[in-house]
Structure formats: C-alpha cells, structure tokens
Amino acid sequence: MRKIDMIVIHCTATRADCPLSPAELTKMHRKRGFKCCGYHYYVRTDGEICTMRPVERVGAHARGYNEHSIGIAYEGGLDAQGRPADTRTELQKRSLRILVRVLKADFPAITQVVGHRDLSPDLDGDGVVEPEEWCKACPCFDVKRGL
C-alpha cells in the first residue's frame, strides 16, 4: 500500500446547473489521456459519494502530489455564467466533511487537506500562495475554512 499523507480537494469546473454523471466525468478524463477517472472520489450535488478509482492506485489529479495523496472532486465549481464560484450544496458540504473525516481515520498519516489551488507555486516566496498566484481557482472555495 502506498503512503498517503494528503487529501486534495477539486471541483469538476462545470456549471452547477449542468449535471455531470460519474460516467461523463470518466469520459472527460479518458479524453485527456487517463486510463480512468483521475480522482479517487466524486461528490455529486445530491451528496452521493462515488468511488472513482481505488485509493491503492496513484491518482491523476495534482501533478507532483499524486503519489502520496487522495483526490476528491465535487460536481460543479462554476456559476450559471461559467465563472468560478463555491457552488457546493449543503449535501455536498456534509458529504465532503464526512468523507474527509473517514479517510483521515482510515489513513492516520494524512496531515494535510488542501485545495488544488493551494498547491500552486509561491511565486513571490513569502510562504503563502495568494489568489494572484493560483494556477487555477479549483476548488473555488477555501478548503481550510470551508470543510
């Protein structure tokens, strides 16, 4: 079993008013050259938690961090105009909290739960990745405050 010490939260960067099935998410990732969905878990707007890739397998969700992390994506992340926004439903928020809690219990070495954007390079070297340094807005909420 690989050593897992991090959870990385993502969004699908799809409009919250346009459902995205697990099969469609997998198809999107296959078009990008992945063998299957790059995330380990997917949280739908109704709170359903879908297992997408076994945690024993390295993910394909955060370059440089895949070897030692679990990737979780939630459905949405863009508002009706296609702009980044925290579109999580209350059911998604609840399911994300529960899933993270269970994974931390199952993998005691997990010391960090971060958003994908938090893994952007610290361009000015001040020890903080500010919004202007984000490579992308994903997951469109502050993971440290929003879980």
Question: Amino acid letter at 84?
Answer: P
Using the predicted structure, report yes or no on whether residue 5 has a pLDDT greater than 80. Answer: yes
Domains of the chain, first to last: 6-146 (3.40.80.10)
Which pLDDT score is estimated for 126? Answer: 80
pLDDT tens string 86-104: 999 999 999 999 999 999 9
Using the predicted structure, report yes or no on whether residue 1 has a pLDDT greater than 90. Answer: no
- Complete DSSP assignment for 58-118: --SSSTTTGGGEEEEEES-EE-TTS-B-----HHHHHHHHHHHHHHHHH-TT--EEEEGGG
- What phi, psi does 112 have (nearest 5°)? -135, 135
Counting residues of the chain whose pLDDT is more than 70, the rounded percentage is: 95
pTM, two decimal places = 0.92
Using the predicted structure, report yes or no on whether residue 81 has a pLDDT greater than 80. Answer: yes
Length of the chain: 147
Using the predicted structure, report yes or no on whether residue 30 has a pLDDT greater than 90. Answer: yes
pLDDT tens string 101-125: 999 999 999 999 999 998 876 667 7
pLDDT tens string 34-53: 889 999 999 999 999 999 99
Using the predicted structure, report yes or no on whether residue 134 has a pLDDT greater than 90. Answer: no
Using the predicted structure, report yes or no on whether residue 136 has a pLDDT greater than 90. Answer: no
CA dihedral 21, 26, 32, 33 (to 10 degrees): -170
